[in-house]
Structure 1
Amino acid sequence: MFDVYITKAAKYLPNEAVSNDEMETYLGLINDTASKARRIILRNNKITSRYYAVDKNGESTHTNAELAKNAIVQLFDENFTDQDLEVLSCGTSSPDIIAPSHAAMVHGLLKNKSVELNSSMGICCSGMNALKYGFLSIKAGNSKNAICTGSEKVSTWLSAQKYNNEVINLKNLEAQPIIAFKKDFLRWMLSDGAGAFLLQNKPASEISLKIEWMEAYSYAFELEACMYAGGDKLENGDIKPWSEFTPEQWLNESVFAVKQDVKILDEFILPKGVESMSDAMAKHNIKAEDVDYFLPHVSSYFFVEGLKKGLDEKGIVLTDEKWFMNLLRVGNVGSASIYIAVEELMNSGKLKKGDKILLSVPESGRFSFAYAYLTVY
Structure 2
Amino acid sequence: MPTRFDRVFIESSGRHLPGPPIDNAAMDAYIAPLNRMSDRIKRRILAENGITTRHYAIDADGRTRQSNAGMAADAVRAALAAAGRDLADIDLLAAGTSGGDALMPGFASMLQGELGAPPMQTLSSHGICASGVGAWQFAAQGIELGGHAHAIVAASEMPSRLFKKSRYAAKGYDADFDAHFLRWMLSDGAGALLLTDTSSGRNGLRLRLRWMHARSFSGDYPVCMQLGLTHDRGTSHLDFDAWGQAEAEGALFLRQDIRLLPHLFDIGVHEYATLAHAGWIDVPRIDHFLCHYSSERFAPLVDELMAKAGLAIPRERWYSNLVTRGNTGAASIFVMLDEFLETHTLKPGEKILCFIPESGRFTVCFVLIEVEAADAAAPSNALPPSGKTDFGADNSDSIAPPHDPADAPAALRHLLGALAAEWHDYRSSVWRTPLIRKLRDRRFTTHDYIAWMQAWIPQVREGSLWMREGASSIVSERYAELAGLIETHAGDEQHDYLILFEDYRTAGGDVENIDALRRNPGGEALNAYLHALAATRDPVGLLGAIYIIEGTGQRIIPALLPLMKASLDLPPNAFRFLDYHGANDEHHLARWLRAVEIVLASDHDGRAAQAILATARRTAQMYLMQFEHISVAESGSDTDNRSAPSQ
| TM-score above 0.5 | yes
- Whether the aligned pair in 1 keeps the contact of 2:80 and 2:194 (CA below 8 Å) is no
Counterpart code for 1:10: G
1:204 pairs with one of 169, 177, 200: 200
Partner SS, residue 210 of structure 1: strand
Matches within 5 A, 1:175-190: 178-190=174-186
2:74 pairs with one of 70, 73, 79: 70
Q: Judging changes above 3 Å, is the alpha-carbon distance between structure 1 residues 160 and 325 closer, same or farther for their aligned structure 2 residues? A: same
1:53 is matched with: 57
Partner SS, residue 357 of structure 1: strand
Partner SS, residue 295 of structure 1: strand
Counterpart code for 1:123: I
Q: Kindly indicate whether residue 26 of structure 2 is the aligned counterpart of residue 18 of structure 1.
A: no
1:99 is matched with: 104
Aligned-partner Cα distance in 2 for 1:120–1:145:
19
- Whether the aligned pair in 1 keeps the contact of 2:38 and 2:180 (CA below 8 Å) is no
Partner SS, residue 63 of structure 2: coil
1:243 is matched with: 238
1:265 is matched with: 261
Q: Kindly indicate whether residue 297 of structure 2 is the aligned counterpart of residue 299 of structure 1.
A: no
- Whether the aligned pair in 2 keeps the contact of 1:8 and 1:208 (CA below 8 Å) is no
Partner SS, residue 61 of structure 1: coil
- Whether the aligned pair in 1 keeps the contact of 2:52 and 2:324 (CA below 8 Å) is yes
Counterpart code for 2:222: E
- Whether the aligned pair in 2 keeps the contact of 1:30 and 1:161 (CA below 8 Å) is no
Aligned-partner Cα distance in 2 for 1:319–1:64:
36
Matches within 5 A, 1:131-170: 131-167=136-172
- Whether the aligned pair in 2 keeps the contact of 1:53 and 1:192 (CA below 8 Å) is yes
- Whether the aligned pair in 2 keeps the contact of 1:137 and 1:143 (CA below 8 Å) is yes
2:93 is matched with: 88
2:360 pairs with one of 338, 362, 365: 365
2:116 pairs with one of 111, 125, 133: 111
Aligned-partner Cα distance in 2 for 1:364–1:54:
25
Partner SS, residue 93 of structure 2: strand
Aligned-partner Cα distance in 1 for 2:168–2:36:
11
2:7 pairs with one of 3, 9, 15: 3
- Whether the aligned pair in 1 keeps the contact of 2:6 and 2:209 (CA below 8 Å) is no
Q: Judging changes above 3 Å, is the alpha-carbon distance between structure 1 residues 134 and 283 closer, same or farther for their aligned structure 2 residues? A: farther
Partner SS, residue 88 of structure 1: strand
Aligned-partner Cα distance in 1 for 2:37–2:309:
45
Aligned-partner Cα distance in 2 for 1:69–1:13:
12
- Whether the aligned pair in 2 keeps the contact of 1:2 and 1:141 (CA below 8 Å) is no
TM-fit CA distance, 1:81: 1.5
1:310 pairs with one of 282, 305, 308: 305
1:280 is matched with: 275
Counterpart code for 2:345: K
Aligned-partner Cα distance in 1 for 2:276–2:88:
38
TM-fit CA distance, 1:254: 2.5
For normalisation by structure 2, the TM-score amounts to: 0.55
TM-fit CA distance, 1:239: 4.3
Deviates more, 1:42-51 or 1:343-352: 343-352
Deviations 1:26-83 (A, max 9, x none): 1223258853200000000010000000111111111100000011011234842211
Aligned-partner Cα distance in 2 for 1:227–1:161:
22
The structure in which a higher percent of residues are strand is 1
2:131 is matched with: 126
Counterpart code for 2:236: P
Aligned-partner Cα distance in 1 for 2:18–2:276:
36
Deviations 1:96-150 (A, max 9, x none): 1110100000000111210110000000001111100111100111111110011
1:327 pairs with one of 317, 322, 327: 322
Deviates more, 1:275-284 or 1:206-215: 275-284
2:216 is matched with: 218
TM-fit CA distance, 1:304: 0.8
Counterpart code for 1:91: G
Counterpart code for 1:328: V
- Whether the aligned pair in 1 keeps the contact of 2:201 and 2:207 (CA below 8 Å) is no
TM-fit CA distance, 1:349: 3.6
Counterpart code for 2:124: S
Deviates more, 1:78-87 or 1:340-349: 78-87
Aligned-partner Cα distance in 1 for 2:89–2:17:
25
Aligned-partner Cα distance in 2 for 1:290–1:71:
31
Counterpart code for 2:289: F
- Whether the aligned pair in 1 keeps the contact of 2:230 and 2:250 (CA below 8 Å) is no
Larger radius of gyration: 2
Q: Kindly indicate whether residue 188 of structure 2 is the aligned counterpart of residue 192 of structure 1.
A: yes
Partner SS, residue 51 of structure 2: coil
The structure in which a higher percent of residues are helix is 2
> Alignment identity in percent?
31
- Whether the aligned pair in 2 keeps the contact of 1:280 and 1:371 (CA below 8 Å) is no
1:42 is matched with: 46
2:229 is matched with: 231
Q: Judging changes above 3 Å, is the alpha-carbon distance between structure 1 residues 18 and 210 closer, same or farther for their aligned structure 2 residues? A: same
Larger RCO (alpha carbons 8 Å, 6+ apart): 1
Counterpart code for 2:311: I
Counterpart code for 1:81: D
Gaps of 5+ in 2: 373-647
Q: Judging changes above 3 Å, is the alpha-carbon distance between structure 1 residues 251 and 349 closer, same or farther for their aligned structure 2 residues? A: closer
- What is the aligned length? 364
2:375 is matched with: none
Partner SS, residue 311 of structure 1: helix
1:375 pairs with one of 362, 370, 373: 370
TM-fit CA distance, 1:279: 2.1
